Amino acid sequence: MTVEHATKYYKTETGSVHALEDLSLEVGRGEFVCILGPSGCGKSTLLWAMSGLHDLSSGRVVLNGTPVAGPR
């Protein structure tokens, strides 16, 4: 799985929240990855985007050469 330049903004009443900004990573078959960080840093947003449950503001998620466009 590859994440390419993932950016996610959430609009709020007072502006916007930048949950992810230009994040790229590659996870190979059989690799184990641990995503760590403080509350609100974008961990859940990244996992939701990787699963196809959240659209990114820009960038893309690719699984086996196919863009992830929804849950599988």
Q: Does the structure show a pLDDT above 90 at 43?
A: yes
Q: Does the structure show a pLDDT above 80 at 45?
A: yes
Burial class (CB in 10 A: 0-12, 13-18, 19+), 32: exposed
Q: Measuring CA to CA, which residue among 50, 40, 57 is closest to residue 72?
A: 50
How high does pLDDT run on average in the chain?
Answer: 95
- Cα 47 to Cα 1: distance, rounded to the nearest angstrom: 12
Q: Tell me, what's the pLDDT at 11?
A: 93
Could you identify the residue written with the tokens 């050469």? Answer: 65
Residue 56 CB coordination number (10 Å): 22
Please name each of the domains of the chain with its CATH number: 2-67 (3.40.50.300)
Q: Tell me, what's the pLDDT at 70?
A: 86
pTM of the model: 0.87
Q: What is the pLDDT of residues 26-42, one digit of tens each?
A: 999 999 999 999 999 99
Q: Tell me, what's the pLDDT at 71?
A: 81
